[in-house]
Amino acid sequence: MSAIIAPNIHIYLSMFLFFQSPLLLIPFSLIFLADGRLSTGHAGVLLAERRGSYPLIDLRTLKSNAQQGEVASGTRRKVKRLLSFQRYCHASRLLRGLVPHTPGSLHLLDDDYLGQAAHMLSKVGTWNFDIFLFDRLTNGNSLVTLMCHLFNVCGLIHHFQLDMVKLHRFLGMVQEDYHSQNPYHNAVHAADVTQAMYCYLKEPKLAEQLSPLDVFLGLMAAAAHDVDHPGVNQPFLIKTRHHLASLYQNTSVLESHHWRSTVGMLRESGLLSHLPAAMSQDMEQQLGSLILATDISRQNEFLLTFREHLDNQDLDLQLASHRHFMLQIALKCADICNPCRVWELSKQWSERVCEEFYRQGDLEKKFDLEVSPLCNQQADSVPAIQIGFISYIVEPLFEEWHRFTEPSLLSQAMMGHLHKNKAHWSHLRYTHTNSDTQAHSNSEEERRGNPAPLSSSIFLHRL
């Protein structure tokens, strides 16, 4: 079969890769049901964020007379509230196959296309996996396709008796609720973190002790850990008095939103509705614990605890609490593993995250707000930001992970890439500063890549 007309290519591709058999054509009406809301009968103790219930403010209406870094109260009253999930209606139409054809969209599903995607998935456990290429091969549906494949190869669909219709619906919600306009915090980042998490879950030291529930939670948390990220950081939400900052009392604001949004989608899709209520609620809570651990402001808290466990040699992975802690550490590593990738991939991620920083800085300048650290494109270069990020955040955590794995081949490869990438950025920074008129003032420490102008506190409050 050389070509099949498939307006909803990602549905057929992921189903094909799941069954690993000749293309299985299933009527679209059987794949996705009509859009529904959260059933009140399924509501548990945990308050979930209903999709679209927490809108983002429209920054275009902010005026430039903000004082002391906060938006004036008069302006706040005039701020137009936009749906946090502005693509919700579009996503619903997409899931029903009602989105009109747009130029450039892919409609032909042929053997070569399927073969390349399937070939990449056969190597999904390798560290040089190119998520950007995979996203192109899956027509922008890398997260859905990857998760379906991993749930299959890990035996999670069979173990938890998951309904494939509900699984596709849930994953479709998650993927659509990432903001594709974000340079960094988008569905491709989620897929990249998920692939890294899968690699870490396969580490011999960890894999032999993990239960199916541990693997399920680890992959789910990785896929949804940044869902509906607005492309700005917590301090920005606080100083603009965003309602999410008020809702979560200025503590782990984004991470709490990611978690509650995930719970809302789990309940709306009914993915876990066949499980006992106590079990599904416990899974929701554990997902929250994992996602909240990605709050970068808690980096030192987790790092010190991890280091103490390794120093005391008291990690017992037969204990559920210790396995959960290691899932938190693994997710934290996966979330910031970009500098540990090969240079070609690492550089792309570095440029993307800095572009997102700079966009926030431009917004802050536009509305006369104080520009946040790392967000001034004129003052904060990509090499300087990356050197500081590696030195203060990435290296300390991955050095302890390296100890934990004793060390594994994967860990050795990651540390090798990390050191090479840091050297690359140091060279680029040296070249960049020497081309500036102030090059003569650079110290020898800066030439070696020591991020003297940046401090660890900047990174702990920015990311």
- Tell me the pLDDT tens digit for each residue of 207-264: 999 999 999 999 999 999 999 999 999 999 999 999 999 999 999 999 999 999 999 9
- Residue 11 confidence (pLDDT) above 50: no
Of the candidates 115, 174, 124, 149, the one whose C-alpha atom is nearest the C-alpha of residue 15 is: 149
Binning pLDDT at 50, 70 and 90, where does residue 432 land? confident
At residue 410's C-alpha, the angle toward residues 409 and 416, to 5°, is: 90
Q: Could you count the other beta carbons within 10 Å of the beta carbon of residue 316?
A: 11
Q: Mind telling me the catalytic residues?
A: 185
Q: Could you count the other beta carbons within 10 Å of the beta carbon of residue 292?
A: 18
Per DSSP, helices labelled H in 336-394 are: 343-366, 382-389
Structure tokens at 164: 């494939």
Tell me the binding residues: 185-189, 225-226, 335, 386
Q: Are 293 and 302 in contact (CB under 8 A)?
A: yes
Tell me the binding residues for AMP: 185-189, 226, 335, 386
Binning pLDDT at 50, 70 and 90, where does residue 36 land? very low
Least confident of 10-14, 302-306, 359-363, 367-371: 10-14
| Domains in the chain with CATH codes | 3-335 (1.10.1300.10), 336-463 (1.10.1300.10)
CA 290 distance to own-chain centroid: 12
CB environment 53-82: b (16+ within 10 A), e (fewer):
ebebbebeebeeebeeeebbeebbeebeee
Alpha-carbon distance of 280 to 271, in angstroms, equals 10
User: Looking at residue 109, what is its pLDDT?
Assistant: 46
Give kind and range of the element (H or E) at residue 112: helix 111-121
User: Looking at residue 78, what is its pLDDT?
Assistant: 35
82 forms beta bridges with: 56
Q: What is the mean pLDDT of the chain?
A: 81
Alpha-carbon distance of 81 to 85, in angstroms, equals 12
Alpha-carbon dihedral sign for residues 236, 304, 343, 124? negative
Least confident of 85-99, 107-121, 369-383, 406-420: 85-99
Binning pLDDT at 50, 70 and 90, where does residue 455 land? low
Of the candidates 391, 218, 396, the one whose C-alpha atom is nearest the C-alpha of residue 307 is: 396
- Report phi then psi at 57, rounded to 5: -75, 155
Task: Render 167-216 in DSSP notation, one character per residue.
Answer: HHHHHHHHHHTS-TTSSSSSHHHHHHHHHHHHHHHT-HHHHTT--HHHHH
Mean pLDDT of 337-341: 99
Regarding predicted confidence, which is higher, 387 or 28? 387
User: Looking at residue 67, what is its pLDDT?
Assistant: 42
80 φ/ψ sector (left φ>0, alpha ψ -120 to 50, else beta): beta
Regarding predicted confidence, which is higher, 76 or 207? 207
User: Looking at residue 62, what is its pLDDT?
Assistant: 42
Tell me the binding residues for Zn(2+): 189, 225-226, 335
Please report, as a single letter, which amino acid is at residue 100: P
Mean pLDDT of 170-197: 99
Least confident of 69-83, 150-164, 286-300, 390-404: 69-83
Alpha-carbon distance of 293 to 301, in angstroms, equals 10
Q: Could you count the other beta carbons within 10 Å of the beta carbon of residue 159?
A: 14
Q: Could you count the other beta carbons within 10 Å of the beta carbon of residue 3?
A: 12
Q: Are 29 and 40 in contact (CB under 8 A)?
A: no
Mean pLDDT of 137-151: 97
CA 363 distance to own-chain centroid: 23
